[in-house]
């Protein structure tokens, strides 16, 4: 069974840093792109970032580019979202999701249960 | 404002059919596959449709997807109370090299 489990969400002050983790199991980690999506309180889903199967190519939403970094560690079957310069508007539930080919698409299945990041100003 | 435009809400009676539209551009829907998700607050989004029209295993055939030009549509027939949720379309934006979601549509089953 394919599973993704996020961790690392926390309450943090504006300007601070946080690293989210997504541990995956049940599939060959290095064969698929992986994606982060978030949902702010009362808002819709927002695509955040994605990384290709090899980890060589990364993509970011304009709202986080230059502040967030996505990466993957094949030895740990885990991928990460390093978030720096956090702002109040980054407050959201962050989901990780598995892609179905080597490059990022919006064909995402399954998703993790999410981890809450709260940025206080 | 989302790159993909969805109606904020739709409603229909149990047993009826509803369509949810998703409008984009040539750099989004026009040249990329569309996916659709069902989302209940506090839970993981669930994939309903991928590659415009395909259903993952376990998704009933009363759920359908279509695409024409720069727009896509999610159809749900035989509405049930359990279908009351938020629905999102998503696709790749070739001009931005990033993913995009619609603003979401809340479905109310009257």
pLDDT digits (tens, 9 = 90+) for B25-81: 999 999 999 999 999 988 999 999 999 999 999 999 999 999 999 999 999 999 999
- CA B77 to each of CA A24, A25, B21, B66, B95: distance values in angstroms, whole numbers, following the listed order: 35, 35, 15, 14, 35
pLDDT value for A101? 87
Residues of chain A with pLDDT under 70: none
What are the φ/ψ torsions at residue A100 (nearest 5 degrees)?
-120, 0
Tell me what pLDDT residue A28 has.
86
* Disruptive mutation site among A107, A108, A111 for chain B (greatest number of B CBs within 10 Å): A107
Confidence band of B107 (pLDDT split at 50, 70, 90) = very high
B83-96: pLDDT as tens digits: 999 999 999 999 99
CA dihedral for A86, A91, A95, A101, sign (positive or negative): negative
The C-alpha of A24 sits at a distance from chain B's nearest C-alpha, in angstroms, of 15
Which of B34, B51, B101 is facing A45, going by the closest CB pair?
B101
Task: Kindly tell me if the per-residue pLDDT of B2 is higher than 90.
Answer: no
């Amino acid at each position: 069974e394919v599973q993704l489990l996020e961790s690392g969400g926390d309450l943090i002050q504006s300007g601070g840093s946080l690293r989210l983790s997504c541990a995956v199991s049940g599939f060959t980690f290095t064969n698929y792109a992986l994606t982060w999506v978030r949902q702010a309180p009362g808002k819709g889903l927002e695509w955040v970032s994605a990384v290709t199967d090899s980890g060589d190519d990364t993509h970011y939403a304009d709202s986080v580019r230059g502040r967030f970094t996505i990466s993957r560690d094949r030895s740990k079957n885990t991928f990460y979202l390093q978030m720096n310069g956090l702002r109040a508007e980054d407050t959201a539930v962050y989901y990780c999701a598995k892609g179905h080919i080597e490059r990022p698409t919006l064909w995402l299945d399954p998703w993790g249960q999410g981890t809450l990041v709260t940025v206080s100003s | 404002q989302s790159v993909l435009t969805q109606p904020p809400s739709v409603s229909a009676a149990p047993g009826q059919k509803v369509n949810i539209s998703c409008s984009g551009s040539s750099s989004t829907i026009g040249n990329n596959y569309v996916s659709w998700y069902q989302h209940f607050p506090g839970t993981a989004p669930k994939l309903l449709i991928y590659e415009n029209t395909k259903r993952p295993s376990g998704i009933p055939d009363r759920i359908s997807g279509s695409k024409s030009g720069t727009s896509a549509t999610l159809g749900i027939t035989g509405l049930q109370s359990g279908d009351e949720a938020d629905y999102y379309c998503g696709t790749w934006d070739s001009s931005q090299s990033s993913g995009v979601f619609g603003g979401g549509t809340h479905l109310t089953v009257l």
